C-alpha cells in the first residue's frame, strides 16, 4: 500500500548528493542543477499527493513502515521507521508542495550566484531533513530531522559566506536553536526513562506513545515536565518567546530560504511536534496553558515590533513570529486541528509574501546595481509605487496581505477565526488569550498593510537613476507567486466551519490523530457555547471588524496622509525608539545571557584553561624536568662508574641468593 514511503525523503537527499558532489565540477549548468533539485522535490510531492489520496479512501488511517532497526538498547527498540497518517500527509503536502514552488522560484532568484549548486544542495538537504522530521515514526528519527533542519537553516542563513552579518546571524540561529534542542532531548530522555523504568513501556514510537501515554497520569508532574521540555524545544525551533530573536536575524539568508525555512516549513516544526505528541500535551493542562499564553504573548509582541521595521523582510519575519504565536495559541487551547490548519494556510500566504518581497528585492537590487547605487535594496523607504512596475508581484502580495489580515473568504480568515473561536470557547481556552489574539489580529492587519502601502503605493522613493530599471521578474519567479497566491485564496476552503455552511474537511481528516486525546481529556468547545451560534457569529464579526480597523488605520496613515507617521514618531519619540529597537530585547539578552556567558567563557579560557589546566600540564612537565636535571648527574659517562654499579648490583643479587 504505502511501500514507497521511504522514497519521499530520499528523493531530495539524492538531489542534494548529486548537486553537492557533482554540481561544481561536472554539472556546472545552472539550469541542470536547478532542474535536478526541483525535480527531486517535485517527485516527492507527486508521491505525497498519490499517498494522500490513497489515505483519503483508506479506512485505516495510520501506517508505519520500518526500514531497519536503528538502536536496540535493553528493552528499548528504536527503528528507522516512517509513519504515515493524516497529520503527516498534510505536512508532506505542505513541505513538498511549497518546497517545489520555492525551488522553482530559486532557479530564477539565484541566477548568477557563484554558490548556485551549493544553494540547491543545501535546499534539498533541508527538504530531506524536514521530511524526516514529519515522517519519522519515533522521537529519535524526528530528532534527526529536527537537528538536520537546524543545520540546514544554519548553512542557508550563512549562505553569503563573505558577509559577516550573515555568519553572525547563522551562528545566532544555531546557538539559540541548540537551547531548544537541548530541551527537546531532555524531554525525550525523561519521557522514555519514566515510561520505561516506572511503567515498563519502553518506547519512543509515536503510535505506541499515543496508546500508552495515559500511564503517566493526567496532570502528572512528570508529564508536565516532559511536555514543558518539548515545548522549550518548540520555542527554539519555532521562534517563540523567549527564543524568537534568531528568526528576524535569519533574514540575512537568501529570500527563498526565508520563505521555505523561516516561514513555511522549518519554523512550524514545533507546532507539528506538539500536534504529533498531542496525547502527552493534552494530559498536562499546565503545559497547555503555558503554550497558549506564550503563543499569545509572542503573537502580540512580535506584531508590535512589526510596526516600526523598515526592512521588508524583517516585517515579514516578525509577522511570521506572530503567526507562529497564533499556532501555539491554538495548540495550547487544544485546537490542534486549527493549529495545523493555520500552519498550512500560513505556509501558503507567508511563502507568497516572502517570495513577493524576494521578487521586489531582486528587481530593486538589479536596478540599484545597474545604477551603481549603494542603497539598501530591502529598505521599504527606498521603495514605493511599485505596483505599476511589478503588477503580478503586487497582486499576489496584496492578496496574501488580505489573507493574513483575515479578510473574509480568504484562507487565513477561516484558520485564524477557528483559532480565536477555540481560544474563547474551548474547555482549555481563556478569554484573555482570545483578547490578545484579537488585538494581535488587528495589529497584523495594520503592519501588513503598512508594508504593502510603503512598498507598492505612494510616491516612488527609489533613486531617480535606478527607478527606470525596476521591472517585473521573470516567469520562473512569478509562476510560484501566482500558484501560492491562488492557494492563499482558496487554501482555507478545506476548513470552512459548520457555522458558515461548510463541513470542515480538515477537521474530519485529522480526527484520527487528534480525536482520541481530545475525547479522553475532554478537550473541545464548552458545552454551553457549543450551540451558541450568536456568540460565534458575534466573535467572528468582531474579529473581522478588528481586521478591517487595522487595514483602515494603515490606509489612513500610509496612503491618505503619509505625513501622519512622522508626526506620531515626533509625538511619542521614546515609544517609537523602543519599538523601533525591538523593545531592546536583543540588548537585554546580550546583557543578561550573552555577555555573562561570554565573560564566563573568557574566564574559563584565560583563567581556568590557561592558568589551571595549562599550569598543571606545564607544571608536571617542569617537575619532571627538574627531577631529571638532578638525576642526570648520575650519568657521568665514565666507564668506571657504570662498572661499579654493575658489580654492586651483582653482589646484591648474589647476596640475596645466598641469604635467602
Partner 1 sequence: METIFFYIIALVALGSGLIVVLCKSPVNSALGLVNTFFCLAVFYVMLYAPFMAAVQIMVYAGAIMVLILFVIMLLNLGTEARKRYTHGVVWAALASLLSLVTFLVFIKKGQITGAAGDITKDVVMSVGHTELIGKTMFTEFLLPFEIASILLLVAIVGAVVLAKKEV
Partner 2 sequence: MISVYHYMTIAAILFAMGTYGVLTRKNAIVIFMCIELMLNSVNLTFIALSRHLNNMDGQIFVFFVMTVAAAEAAVGLALMISFFRNRESIDVEEIDLLKW
Which of 416, 300, 442, 275 is CA-nearest to residue 350?
Answer: 416
Q: Which of 617, 643, 653, 655 binds partner 2 (CB under 8 A)?
A: 643
Distance, in Å, from the CA atom of 504 to the CA atom of 54, rounded to the nearest integer, reads 20
* 654 touches, from partner 2, partner 1, none (C-beta below 5 to 8 Å by class): partner 1
* 632 touches, from partner 2, partner 1, none (C-beta below 5 to 8 Å by class): partner 2
> CA of 384: how far to CAs of 155, 313, 316, 485, 564, in Å?
33, 15, 17, 21, 17
Distance, in Å, from the CA atom of 108 to the CA atom of 476, rounded to the nearest integer, reads 6
* 528 touches, from partner 2, partner 1, none (C-beta below 5 to 8 Å by class): none
Residue with cell 500508552: 212
Q: From the CB of 604, what's the least distance to partner 2, in Å?
A: 41
Nearer of residues 503 and 636 to partner 1, judged by Cβ? 636
In the range 197-226, which residues lie near partner 1 by CB under 8 A? none
* 636 touches, from partner 1, partner 2, none (C-beta below 5 to 8 Å by class): partner 2
Distance, in Å, from the CA atom of 388 to the CA atom of 368, rounded to the nearest integer, reads 18
Q: From the CB of 652, what's the least distance to partner 1, in Å?
A: 9
Distance, in Å, from the CA atom of 605 to the CA atom of 268, rounded to the nearest integer, reads 38
Does 658 contact partner 2 by CB under 8 A? no
Give me the half-sphere count of Cα atoms (radius 13 Å) on the Cβ side of residue 111.
15
Nearer of residues 7 and 654 to partner 1, judged by Cβ? 654
Distance, in Å, from the CA atom of 270 to the CA atom of 234, rounded to the nearest integer, reads 4
Q: Which of 60, 640, 656, 657 binds partner 2 (CB under 8 A)?
A: 640
Residue with cell 478537550: 523
Q: From the CB of 636, what's the least distance to partner 1, in Å?
A: 11
Nearer of residues 541 and 627 to partner 2, judged by Cβ? 627
Nearer of residues 498 and 646 to partner 2, judged by Cβ? 646
Q: From the CB of 638, what's the least distance to partner 1, in Å?
A: 8
Q: From the CB of 634, what's the least distance to partner 2, in Å?
A: 9
70 membership: H or E segment, kind and range: strand 63-73
Q: From the CB of 155, what's the least distance to partner 2, in Å?
A: 58
Nearer of residues 528 and 638 to partner 1, judged by Cβ? 638
In the range 597-636, which residues lie near partner 2 by CB under 8 A? 632-633, 635-636
Who contacts 367 (Cβ-Cβ below 8 Å, separation ≥6)? Answer: 462, 466, 467, 468, 469, 470
Q: Which of 552, 647, 652, 655 binds partner 2 (CB under 8 A)?
A: 647
Nearer of residues 620 and 650 to partner 1, judged by Cβ? 650
Distance, in Å, from the CA atom of 179 to the CA atom of 394, rounded to the nearest integer, reads 39
> For 63, phi and psi rounded to 5 degrees?
-130, 140
**What is the sign of the dihedral through the CA atoms of 535, 540, 543 and 544?**
negative
Nearer of residues 68 and 639 to partner 2, judged by Cβ? 639
Does 657 contact partner 1 by CB under 8 A? yes
Is residue 504 within 8 A of residue 496, CB to CB? The reply is yes
- With vertex at residue 170, the alpha carbon angle to CA 167 and CA 173, rounded to the nearest 5 degrees, is 150
C-alpha cell at 27: 554539472
Q: Which of 566, 638, 658, 659 binds partner 2 (CB under 8 A)?
A: 638
Which runs of consecutive H residues, i.e. helices, occur in 491-558?
505-520, 527-530, 533-555
Nearer of residues 46 and 650 to partner 1, judged by Cβ? 650
- Peptide bond between residue 242 and the one before it cis (omega within 30 degrees of 0): yes
Nearer of residues 501 and 630 to partner 2, judged by Cβ? 630
Q: Count of CB atoms within 10 A of residue 185's CB? A: 17
* 635 touches, from partner 1, partner 2, none (C-beta below 5 to 8 Å by class): partner 2
Q: How many residues bind partner 1 (CB under 8 A)?
A: 11
Nearer of residues 640 and 660 to partner 2, judged by Cβ? 640
* 657 touches, from partner 1, partner 2, none (C-beta below 5 to 8 Å by class): partner 1
Nearer of residues 597 and 647 to partner 1, judged by Cβ? 647
Distance, in Å, from the CA atom of 366 to the CA atom of 358, rounded to the nearest integer, reads 12
Is residue 139 within 8 A of residue 207, CB to CB? The reply is no
Who contacts 506 (Cβ-Cβ below 8 Å, separation ≥6)? Answer: 90, 337, 340, 341, 344, 494, 495
Q: From the CB of 632, what's the least distance to partner 1, in Å?
A: 20
> CA of 653: how far to CAs of 634, 646, 656, 657, in Å?
22, 10, 5, 6
Is residue 536 within 8 A of residue 421, CB to CB? The reply is yes
* 655 touches, from partner 2, partner 1, none (C-beta below 5 to 8 Å by class): partner 1
Q: From the CB of 635, what's the least distance to partner 2, in Å?
A: 5
C-alpha cell at 286: 499546565
Q: From the CB of 642, what's the least distance to partner 1, in Å?
A: 12
Does 652 contact partner 2 by CB under 8 A? no
Is residue 115 within 8 A of residue 159, CB to CB? The reply is yes
Q: Is 502 exposed, middle or buried (0-12, 13-18, 19+ CB in 10 A)?
A: middle
In the range 630-649, which residues lie near partner 1 by CB under 8 A? 640-641, 644, 647-648
Q: From the CB of 630, what's the least distance to partner 1, in Å?
A: 21
Q: From the CB of 632, what's the least distance to partner 2, in Å?
A: 4
Q: Which of 59, 114, 501, 637 binds partner 2 (CB under 8 A)?
A: 637
Report helix, strand or coil for 466: helix
Nearer of residues 566 and 659 to partner 1, judged by Cβ? 659
Nearer of residues 624 and 650 to partner 1, judged by Cβ? 650
Window 587-626: contact mask with partner 1 (x via CB under 8 A): ----------------------------------------
Q: How many residues bind partner 2 (CB under 8 A)?
A: 11
Q: Count of CB atoms within 10 A of residue 320's CB? A: 30
Which positions touch partner 2 (CB under 8 A)? 632-633, 635-640, 643-644, 647
Which positions touch partner 1 (CB under 8 A)? 640-641, 644, 647-648, 650-651, 654-655, 657-658
Amino acid at each position: 500500500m504505502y511501500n514507497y514511503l521511504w522514497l519521499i525523503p530520499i528523493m531530495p537527499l539524492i538531489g542534494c548528493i548529486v548537486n553537492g558532489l557533482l554540481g561544481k565540477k561536472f554539472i556546472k549548468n545552472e539550469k541542470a542543477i536547478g532542474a535536478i533539485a526541483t525535480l527531486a522535490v517535485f517527485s516527492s510531492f507527486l508521491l505525497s499527493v498519490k499517498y494522500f489520496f490513497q489515505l483519503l479512501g483508506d479506512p485505516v488511517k495510520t501506517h508505519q513502515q520500518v526500514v531497519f532497526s536503528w538502536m536496540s538498547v535493553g528493552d528499548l527498540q528504536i527503528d528507522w521507521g516512517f509513519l504515515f497518517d493524516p497529520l503527516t500527509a498534510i505536512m508532506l503536502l505542505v513541505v513538498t508542495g511549497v518546497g517545489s514552488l520555492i525551488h522553482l522560484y530559486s532557479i530564477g532568484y539565484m541566477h548568477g550566484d557563484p554558490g548556485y549548486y551549493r544553494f540547491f544542495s543545501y535546499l534539498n538537504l533541508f527538504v530531506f531533513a524536514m521530511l524526516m522530521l514529519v515522517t519519522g515514526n519515533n522521537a529519535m528519527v524526528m530528532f534527526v530531522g529536527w537537528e538536520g533542519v537546524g543545520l540546514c537553516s544554519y548553512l542557508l542563513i550563512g549562505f553569503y559566506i563573505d558577509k559577516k552579518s550573515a555568519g553572525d546571524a547563522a551562528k545566532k540561529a544555531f546557538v539559540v536553536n541548540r537551547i531548544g534542542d537541548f530541551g527537546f532531548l531532555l524531554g525525550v530522555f525523561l519521557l522514555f526513562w519514566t515510561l520505561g523504568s516506572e511503567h515498563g513501556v519502553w518506547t519512543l514510537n509515536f503510535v505506541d506513545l499515543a496508546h500508552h501515554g495515559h500511564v503517566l497520569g493526567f496532570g502528572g508532574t512528570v508529564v508536565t515536565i516532559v511536555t514543558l521540555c518539548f515545548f522549550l524545544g518548540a520555542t527554539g525551533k519555532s521562534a517563540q518567546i523567549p527564543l524568537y530573536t534568531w528568526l528576524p536575524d535569519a533574514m540575512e539568508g537568501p529570500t527563498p530560504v526565508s520563505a521555505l525555512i523561516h516561514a513555511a516549513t522549518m519554523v512550524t516544526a514545533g507546532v507539528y511536534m506538539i500536534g504529533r505528541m498531542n496525547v502527552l500535551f493534552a494530559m498536562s493542562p499546565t503545559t497547555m496553558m503555558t503554550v497558549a499564553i506564550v503563543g499569545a504573548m509572542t503573537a502580540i509582541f512580535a506584531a508590535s515590533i512589526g510596526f516600526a521595521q523598515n526592512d521588508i523582510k524583517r516585517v515579514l519575519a516578525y509577522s511570521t513570529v506572530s503567526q507562529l504565536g497564533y499556532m501555539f495559541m491554538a495548540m495550547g487551547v487544544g485546537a490542534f486541528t486549527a493549529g495545523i490548519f493555520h500552519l498550512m494556510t500560513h505556509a501558503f500566504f507567508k511563502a507568497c509574501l516572502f517570495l513577493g518581497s524576494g521578487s521586489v528585492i531582486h528587481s530593486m537590487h538589479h536596478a540599484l546595481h545597474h545604477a551603481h547605487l549603494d542603497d539598501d535594496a530591502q529598505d521599504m523607504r527606498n521603495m514605493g509605487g511599485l505596483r505599476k512596475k511589478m503588477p503580478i508581484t503586487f497582486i499576489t502580495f496584496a492578496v496574501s496581505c488580505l489573507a493574513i489580515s483575515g479578510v473574509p473568504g480568504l484562507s487565513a480568515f477561516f484558520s485564524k477565526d477557528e483559532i480565536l473561536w477555540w481560544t474563547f470557547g474551548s474547555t482549555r481556552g481563556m478569554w484573555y488569550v482570545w483578547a490578545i489574539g484579537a488585538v494581535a489580529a488587528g495589529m497584523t492587519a495594520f503592519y501588513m498593510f503598512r508594508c504593502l502601502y510603503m512598498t507598492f503605493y505612494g510616491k516612488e522613493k527609489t533613486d531617480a537613476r535606478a527607478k527606470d530599471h525596476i521591472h517585473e521578474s521573470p516567469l520562473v519567479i512569478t509562476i510560484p507567486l501566482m500558484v501560492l497566491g491562488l492557494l492563499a485564496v482558496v487554501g482555507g476552503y478545506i476548513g470552512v466551519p459548520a457555522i458558515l455552511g461548510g463541513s470542515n474537511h480538515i477537521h474530519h481528516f485529522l480526527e484520527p490523530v487528534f480525536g482520541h486525546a481530545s475525547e479522553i481529556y475532554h478537550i473541545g468547545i464548552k458545552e454551553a457555547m457549543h450551540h451558541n451560534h450568536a456568540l460565534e457569529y458575534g466573535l467572528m464579526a468582531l474579529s473581522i471588524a478588528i481586521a478591517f480597523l487595522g487595514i483602515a488605520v494603515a490606509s489612513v496613515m500610509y496612503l491618505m496622509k503619509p505625513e501622519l507617521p512622522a508626526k506620531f514618531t515626533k509625538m511619542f519619540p521614546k515609544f517609537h525608539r523602543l519599538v523601533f529597537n525591538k523593545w531592546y530585547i536583543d540588548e537585554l539578552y546580550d546583557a543578561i545571557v550573552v555577555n555573562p556567558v561570554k565573560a564566563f567563557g573568557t574566564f574559563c579560557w584565560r583563567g581556568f584553561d590557561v592558568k589551571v589546566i595549562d599550569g598543571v600540564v606545564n607544571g608536571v612537565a617542569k617537575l619532571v624536568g627538574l627531577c631529571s636535571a638532578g638525576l642526570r648527574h648520575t650519568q657521568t659517562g665514565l666507564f668506571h662508574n657504570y662498572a661499579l654499579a654493575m658489580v654492586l648490583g651483582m653482589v646484591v643479587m648474589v647476596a640475596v641468593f645466598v641469604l635467602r
